[in-house]
Amino acid sequence: MIRAGTEQDAALVLRGLQALADAMGDPFLTSGPQLAQALRCGAARVELAGDQGVALWSPFLSTTRGAMGAYVSDLWVADAARGQGLGQRLLAAVRDRAAGEFGAVFLRLAVYHDNPAARRFYDRLGFTAKPDEIWLTLQGAALEAL
Band of residue 145 on the pLDDT scale cut at 50, 70, 90:
very high
pLDDT of residue 79: 93
pLDDT for 96-108, tens place per residue?
999 999 999 999 9
Look up residue 119 and give its amino acid: R
Band of residue 13 on the pLDDT scale cut at 50, 70, 90:
very high
What rounded mean pLDDT belongs to the chain? 94
Provide the residue range defining the domain that includes 93.
3-145
CATH code at position 94: 3.40.630.30
Other C-beta atoms closer than 10 Å to the C-beta of 53 total: 22
pLDDT of residue 132: 86
The number of folded domains in the chain is 1
pLDDT of residue 104: 96
pLDDT for 22-41, tens place per residue?
999 999 999 999 999 999 99
Band of residue 135 on the pLDDT scale cut at 50, 70, 90:
confident
Residues 14, 47: Cα–Cα separation, whole Å: 13
